[in-house]
Amino acid sequence: MLQVRTRMAPSPTGEYHPGHIRTVLYNYALAKKNKGQFVIRIEDTDQGRYVEGSADRILDIITDYGLSWDEGPRVGGPYEPYFQSQRLDIYKKYAKELVDKGHAYYCFCTPERLAVMRKEQQDQKLPVTKYDRKCRNMSEVEVEKKLREGVSYVIRQKVPDDTIISFTDEILGAISFESKDIEDGVLLKSDGFPTYHLAVVIDDHLMNVTHILRGCDWIPSTPKHILIYKALGWNIPKIAHLPNLKEVGGTSKLSKRYGAVEARGFLEEGYLPEAMLNFLMLLGWNPGTDKEIFTLEEFIQEFSLSRVHPTDLVAFDRTRLLWYNAYYIRNLSLQNLYDRLSAWVDKYDFEFKLQDYPKDYILEVLKLVQDRLHVFKEIKELVLYFLEDPTINKDQLIKQSKSAVLAANILNSYKTLFEEISEPDWDRENLDKKAHELLSLKSYKPKEAFMTIRVALTGLEATPPLFDIIGLLKKEIVLGRLQSALSLVS
């Protein structure tokens, strides 16, 4: 039985996006379900777009999302090196073999000539610009002469005329292309570096990759790759194109108008890797049941290409992602939540550090706000009034009872009540009981009284239960905040 080997081949030209992570996840799951290997290979042959440090950041973010690889950078493997820039002699060898077999040819056209050619084609309103094949039929004698003279060249693919190139996509089914629509593209550049199309085929073959899973935007490249496989007499791996991600209601890629678009950005905002993975699992794949919560191991066991949607786009529903993250946060133990928040604060240099405050007290605070926390970046707003006096808006304070006089009466009444409660009796149940007794005695409406107190103590209108807050805050802090609020309305 053929051992399943999948790969992800990131290009270090920028930051990784959630769609890339989803593709890593699917490749990883397919390999692991079939007791195979998942390979990472760095496709760093586009030197013009290379971004220093990008490869390390990509490897780091894959790791940060809780995924790993069996072969590749940092772990090694039997097919080293796993950086394409270190494999140039391999690509040159096979590019030369393609030329010798008549499936590729030397092209000596200068960049200036190509620019003029494309400008002329654009002026003719042609739907696409393509190389005009000027060097395709150059005689061997002329080619040898130019090579001896050291004329700069590239090697181009010789796409056959009047041919249908077909393959069966493991997700989308039968797909065909007419060769007349495919350009004689560059395989080996003048600097000796291969293009993606040459390098990816060679490396996938030499590394025994059995399944290629990638985004739908790579479909137009597939016939070029199939031609190279056939030209070299190699078996073609199974190919599956995954739907790309789009904003809800949109038809294009993720947009910064709606929030983070880079995989790291979501972690920086405080999304948990396991929540992100669970969300991404279901962006294109359906388990065939109503089950929504999957651990990575559960997903691996249930994943199959047959349940990936045969479509080109799926919606990246940020509201749904927020639900997932809140669900995972709610299900953390308090200690784990504290540890995860502390690690996140340090890793992403968040402005607010829980570690600066007594841990036992913070654990009590987290117990009250855990169900309200959707992403870690919200933590400061949710807990700050437990740690320092809030800024009180006078109009917001008065709004609760619709009268400055009544607001002052409420604040004064409860300040007097709380002054009379001793420290040993300062607990949630007793405070709640005494506050409601005063409510009846003064004939205050519950909403106007307790919302006034809430704003006075927290500066907010939406908080955890009021008497949970009062019971946790020290008596002198409560009295001090009530006095400060009273001074605003008196």
Catalytic residues: 256
Q: How far apart are CA 214 and CA 344, in angstroms?
A: 31
401 φ, ψ (degrees, to nearest 5): -115, -5
Q: Torsions phi, psi of 434, nearest 5?
A: -65, -40
- Cβ distance 165 to 174 under 8 Å? no
Check if the beta carbon of residue 201 is closer than 8 Å to that of residue 221. Answer: no
For the chain, how far is it from start to end, CA to CA, in angstroms?
84
Residue 41 burial (C-beta neighbours within 10 Å; 0-12, 13-18, 19+): buried
Q: Across the strands, what pairs with 168?
A: 174
Is residue 482 within 8 Å of 453, Cβ to Cβ?
A: yes
Measured CA to CA in angstroms, residue 364 lies from 132, 471, 472 at distances of: 72, 11, 8
Strands (E), 31-127: 37-40, 104-107
Distance CA 260, CA 356 (A): 28
Q: Where are the extended beta strands (E) located within 204-267?
A: 211-215, 238-242, 244-247
Joined together, the tokens standing for residue 290 give 């109503």
Task: Calculate ∠ Cα 199-114-163, nearest 5°.
Answer: 55
Give 101's strand partners: none
Element counts in the chain: helices (H) and strands (E): 20, 11
Q: How far apart are CA 286 and CA 276, in angstroms?
A: 16
d(CA 463, CA 452): 13
Could you tell me if 414 and 486 are in contact, meaning their C-beta atoms sit under 8 angstroms apart? no
A 10 A CB-CB count for 144 gives 11
Contacts with 37 (C-beta within 8 Å, 6 or more apart), sequence order: 3, 4, 5, 6, 31, 70, 71
CB 488 within 8 A of CB 410: no
